[in-house]
């Protein structure tokens, strides 16, 4: 059973209105003699505990109340499909570009024309048809044990297939969408045949498959692996608590296409009843104030190039990012999954 969370009494209003046979906005309108309260309903797969301050600041600045529920990406998409035109959700927030692509392909999102979003968000971090928009960047790259590996030994994702990394590598399982997006990016960069050769090399190096980026980093720190592939912000969290952790970050593929970038992003749902408020929320999250609150709360990188990242991640310096449009991760996701099945990536 899903647990709704709200900045105010949103849950109570929604349940009472549903029991009475009308939607929450209709109930509010009836109670206020035709004056409908400004509100936006959010379904979010991003649930690290830092969302509430962002929404509170948005409400304070705009007067628009935010009501939201958390869930896993696939569950929220299924919920949107099941609810159809009766969904209360105005905004869908996902933690992977592949998931956003799927939501758009399944007809769950609508296109939005916004000069604000086009100005604040680089073109490769938003849907070509403007059905979803990146709000923060998550860099999936290499981490290494500083006592066992020299950074001069590291170079690319492709190099992790070299036999020198046999029994020294930690990876996330193939079932994780982050892994699927990374492999999709290899297909986009090299074609399927070459990408399969690379991933087969990873598998032949007998990696430890660990379904947690935090545990991958902890395993690397303990010497259980020498290198791993993780989202950068997991290391930032651990470094925030323990600056002496013997693990450091290495930006992959700096001599060619650049490091793999994924996103947290949002779109306006197909049947949004509060469309104007939904667009206003996404625009605000892309603004300088919204970016600082939204990105810094989880040590992610802002998509808005005018906004500085959190000091902890800023210390890691500048780096080259893969310019691919992240929508490709969704388009190539099925092929990435099939490729991993063929090579025994579990």
Band (pLDDT 50/70/90 cuts) for residue 49 is low
Query: What pLDDT does 9 receive?
Result: 33
Band (pLDDT 50/70/90 cuts) for residue 36 is low
Query: What pLDDT does 53 receive?
Result: 85
Q: For residue range 307-339, what is the model confidence (pLDDT) as tens digits?
A: 999 999 999 999 999 999 999 999 999 999 999
Q: For residue range 147-186, what is the model confidence (pLDDT) as tens digits?
A: 999 999 999 999 999 999 999 999 999 999 999 999 999 9
The separation between the first and the last C-alpha atoms of the chain, rounded to the nearest angstrom, is: 30
Query: What pLDDT does 37 receive?
Result: 82
Residue 15 has pLDDT above 80, yes or no: no
Superfamily of domain 138-260+319-343: Periplasmic binding protein-like II (3.40.190.10)
Q: Is residue 92 packed enough to be buried (19+ CB in 10 Å), middle (13-18) or exposed (0-12)? A: buried
303 alpha-carbon distance from chain centroid: 12
Residue 13 has pLDDT above 50, yes or no: no
CATH fold match for the domains 4-137+262-310 and 138-260+319-343:
yes
Gap between the Cα atoms of 270 and 325, Å rounded:
23
Least-confidence region, from 1-5, 184-188, 267-271: 1-5
Residue 217 has pLDDT above 60, yes or no: yes
> Kind and range of the H or E element at 6?
strand 4-6
pTM value? 0.88
Mean pLDDT across the chain: 90
Gap between the Cα atoms of 186 and 182, Å rounded:
7
Residue 145 has pLDDT above 50, yes or no: yes
Query: Candidates 3.40.630.40, 3.40.190.10, 1.10.287.130, 3.40.640.10; correct CATH number of 4-137+262-310?
Result: 3.40.190.10
Residue linked to tokens 């970038």 = 261
Residue 198 has pLDDT above 90, yes or no: yes
Report the pLDDT averaged over residues 1-12: 37
Supply φ then ψ for residue 150, to 5 degrees: -95, 140
Query: What pLDDT does 295 receive?
Result: 95
Report the pLDDT averaged over residues 186-209: 98
Q: Where are the domains of the chain?
A: 4-137+262-310, 138-260+319-343
């Amino acid at each position: 059973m899903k647990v709704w969370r709200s900045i105010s009494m949103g849950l109570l209003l929604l349940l009472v209105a549903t029991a009475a046979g009308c939607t929450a906005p209709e109930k509010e309108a009836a109670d206020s003699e035709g004056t409908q309260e400004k509100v936006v309903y959010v379904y979010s797969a991003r649930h690290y505990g830092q969302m509430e301050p962002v929404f509170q600041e948005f409400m304070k600045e705009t007067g628009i109340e935010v009501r939201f529920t958390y869930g896993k990406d696939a569950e929220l998409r299924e919920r949107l499909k099941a609810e159809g035109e009766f969904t209360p959700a105005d905004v869908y927030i996902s933690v992977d570009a592949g998931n956003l692509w799927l939501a758009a392909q399944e007809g769950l999102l609508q296109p939005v024309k916004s000069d604000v979003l086009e100005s604040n968000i680089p073109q490769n971090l938003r849907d070509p048809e403007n059905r979803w928009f990146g709000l923060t960047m998550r860099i999936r790259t290499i981490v290494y044990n500083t006592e066992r590996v020299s950074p001069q030994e590291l170079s690319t994702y492709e190099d992790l297939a070299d036999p020198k990394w046999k029994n020294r590598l930690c990876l996330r399982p193939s079932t994780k969408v982050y892994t699927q997006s990374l492999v999709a990016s290899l297909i986009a960069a090299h074609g399927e045949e070459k990408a399969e050769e690379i991933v087969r090399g990873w598998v032949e190096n007998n990696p430890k498959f660990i379904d947690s980026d935090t545990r991958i980093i902890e395993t690397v720190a303990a010497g259980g692996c020498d290198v791993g592939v993780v989202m950068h912000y997991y290391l930032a969290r651990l470094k925030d608590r323990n600056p002496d952790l013997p693990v450091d970050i290495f930006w992959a593929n700096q001599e060619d296409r650049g490091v793999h970038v994924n996103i947290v992003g949002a779109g306006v749902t197909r049947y949004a009843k509060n469309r104007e408020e939904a667009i206003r929320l996404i625009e605000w999250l892309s603004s300088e104030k919204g970016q600082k609150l939204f990105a810094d709360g989880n040590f992610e990188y802002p998509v808005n190039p005018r906004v500085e990242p959190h000091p902890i991640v800023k210390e890691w310096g500048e780096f080259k990012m893969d310019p691919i449009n992240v929508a490709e991760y969704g388009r190539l996701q099925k092929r990435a999954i099939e490729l991993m099945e063929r090579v025994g990536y579990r």
